[in-house]
Structure 1
């Protein structure tokens, strides 16, 4: 009788989290996509951070933030690519009337023993988006499912390390989508980087896409 395979754990300790992040950040530096590690002064704690400019249609915002020349100049090559992906055509740029600034933080949760994605969003003039506006900018492929459950997780609360208001994707459902991915990797005798797998799933919900090269180039910690 073949020995039963132990199920892959959906949890990780802080050291494994930090090692996964270190490998993730090494690849980020190679491809220059803007991730960094932010250390909290006087402590051993920190988090991964990325800021991204995202063009959207003004219809997702109750208060139109008209696109100025400054907005257009601030669009990076990645943002221009996002414009093309978002609207699927050369008419895309003409339909974009607002640019939002999203700041993403990846933290370790000691309570859940898993990573958590915090973020905040604002217009380029610094006006924070409301929860309603953030919901309006959730990718359409996910919005209806999120609002009906099973996630029920997009909320606003205090950042545990900065003490500032942030939005977050609550980690209560992480095991639900991570277990199948980790079990499949184990069945195929593949070792995956937890942060890469996890962020590839949760990121696109709030406009954070992870390049495929992370899955092929970033290894699991030893």
Structure 2
């Protein structure tokens, strides 16, 4: 089934995606992430054995963005900022203790984050799963990684019914991960993509970029304007 036929079969559109549509949109997201975020780790498609009943796909998978670093500086005015993997490497190389016998306290504390974008067969929308850990691999409790989140995140999670964080088993890794709960996602995606989708065959491909521009803010990941501008040009 091609995109245009998929759109026709879902008019009026309910804000959801099929698993096939998710896979298509994930490929677009991965390509654009690489193009507009060259200093960040790549957002890669991870292939997994077939997991969802009734799926027409021979293999399934999810998008994986890993080893994203959030740095907590000792300076108050720089208490919270993101750090890419390249910056972290440069930071480590720049640290030169003046005395090998002297224990030097690090200026920065680096926390690592893995983000997975996974399709929910129940809600028929993408879901953001994530985990956080120290440089030594020790997981961070929620009370600690909550401090890494941007200041407006707590306000968003309090005011919005679709931005609360829960913990449950990762659908493919069978380990506990945190996730941004998907309830309400289809409703606000309908509002976000409220244009005449019957005339726009690209909106399915652009779904994840639009979706991530909202949910990424909750965990401190911004969608580059170039990715969003590209959506506008495609829809014009």
1:48 aligns with 2:63: yes
Equivalent-residue separation in structure 1 for 2:21 and 2:27 (angstroms): 10
Unmatched segments (≥5 aa) in structure 2: 1-10, 52-58, 76-82, 91-105
1:11 aligns with 2:16: yes
1:206 aligns with 2:216: no
Unmatched segments (≥5 aa) in structure 1: 1-5, 60-71, 81-94
Asked whether the 8 Å contact 1:12–1:114 carries over to 2, the reply is yes
TM-score (norm 1): 0.72
Q: Offset of 1:134 from its aligned partner? A: 2.7
TM-score (norm 2): 0.68
More helix by share: 1
Equivalent-residue separation in structure 2 for 1:217 and 1:152 (angstroms): 26
> Which of the two has higher C-alpha Rg?
2
Partner residue in 2 for 1:181: 192
Q: Offset of 1:14 from its aligned partner? A: 0.7
Partner residue in 2 for 1:144: 155
**Alignment RMSD:** 3.1
Asked whether the 8 Å contact 2:162–2:185 carries over to 1, the reply is no
| CA gap 1:137/1:176 in 2 versus in 1, 3 angstroms | farther
Asked whether the 8 Å contact 1:58–1:96 carries over to 2, the reply is yes
| CA gap 1:55/1:158 in 2 versus in 1, 3 angstroms | same
Asked whether the 8 Å contact 1:37–1:46 carries over to 2, the reply is yes
Partner residue in 1 for 2:134: 123
Report 1:3-152 matches (<5 A): 7-31=12-36, 32=38, 33=40, 34-41=42-49, 44-51=59-66, 52-57=68-73, 75-77=85-87, 97-147=108-158, 149-151=160-162
Q: Offset of 1:7 from its aligned partner? A: 4.9
| CA gap 1:151/1:110 in 2 versus in 1, 3 angstroms | closer
